[in-house]
Structure 1
């Protein structure tokens, strides 16, 4: 992991622990997903949470596949994420904005 993403060592251990715990315990990704995509530790928990909530909403409506790699969700730009995922459902943009507002108000 460190060979592919050495910059993750610049973060505090508490921050890394929080991210790892969230990805594994809350989202259900296996530890092996960190080995395949260690850069995921570079993104904020809020970004991962926001995108995963949107993706879950799309899955519930049959608009997204059920097995998507973590990197596919978080590594793309916001513009690409909106194009690739949010726009899959006519209500997607409205839901996306609502999720963003809800998460920003809970911080």
Structure 2
């Protein structure tokens, strides 16, 4: 686990691990995860996210690892831990296939684009159909992003629609419509940065030209659409 603190967190999330065989289950699983490229801290994070992972039947764990690789996420890659979490969450190949089809239909992706998106952000497969549909309608229909653009930047789908994606789009649109920002400025760059960086880069420089921008942005983060953000 890397530290006693991590060990206690794992036990807190899954006290049943203390009943698992150390020699037949826990140690073999830990050794296998290390063979897959996970360090002590990675294993701790994995077990905190999925408390029963170390207590899983070793053969089943190896099957999950093979399934994760089948999603296009190779062992020893930085996304492998997340791919294992995804496989553990979905449970079986049938559910994974259903989620893959849902992504294809929702974002109009090809098989290759789904594979790219999942390999870059495996947890995309665990998002609900309803949430993905809302984000698809917003990103494709309102923002005007191409499906391929989203496939190469799937982390966007993990961001809150109402608390991040939509408010920042409103700010960018306002700035562009008022000639305060280059129309070619990339949307992903704006949504990927922290809120502090976003405010520093896109709001603070325009305090004089747009004195109400900060308060309008805060209002949009609360689900409101200020009059100044409404364009025909």
TM bucket (normalised to shorter chain) is: 0.7 to 0.9
For residue 120 of structure 2, give the secondary structure of its aligned residue in structure 1. coil
**Paired residues of 1:33 and 1:70 also in contact (CA < 8 A):** no
Deviation of residue 93 (structure 1)? 6.1
Aligned to 1:8: 124
Question: For residues 28 and 97 of structure 1, what CA distance do their matches in structure 2 show?
Answer: 26
Report the CA distance between 1:94 and its aligned residue.
Answer: 2.8
Give the equivalent residue in structure 2 for 1:98.
Answer: 216
Q: Is the 8 A contact 1:87 1:93 kept in 2?
A: no
Q: 1:40 touches 1:71 (CA, 8 Å); kept in 2?
A: yes
User: Deviation of residue 9 (structure 1)?
Assistant: 1.6
Task: Give the one of 153, 161, 166 matched to 1:49.
Answer: 166
Cα distance in 2, alignment partners of residues 93 and 43 from structure 1: 27
Structure showing greater relative contact order (alpha-carbon pairs closer than 8 Å, 6 or more residues apart) = 1
Using the size of structure 1 for normalisation, the TM-score is: 0.87
Q: CA deviation at 1:102?
A: 4.6
How many matched pairs?
A: 106
Give RMSD over aligned pairs. Answer: 1.8
How far did residue 40 of structure 1 move? 0.7
Higher Cα Rg, which structure: 2
Give structure 2 stretches of 5+ with no counterpart.
Answer: 1-116, 225-232
2:134 aligns with 18
Paired residue secondary structure (1:67): coil
Contact 2:167 2:221 in 1 (8 A): yes
- 1:34 is matched with 150
| Structure 1 segments (4+ residues) deviating >3 Å | none
Report the CA distance shift for 1:37/1:98 in structure 2 as closer, same or farther (over 3 A).
same
TM-score normalized by structure 2? 0.42
Q: C-alpha separation between the residues in 2 aligned to 1:58 and 1:43?
A: 22
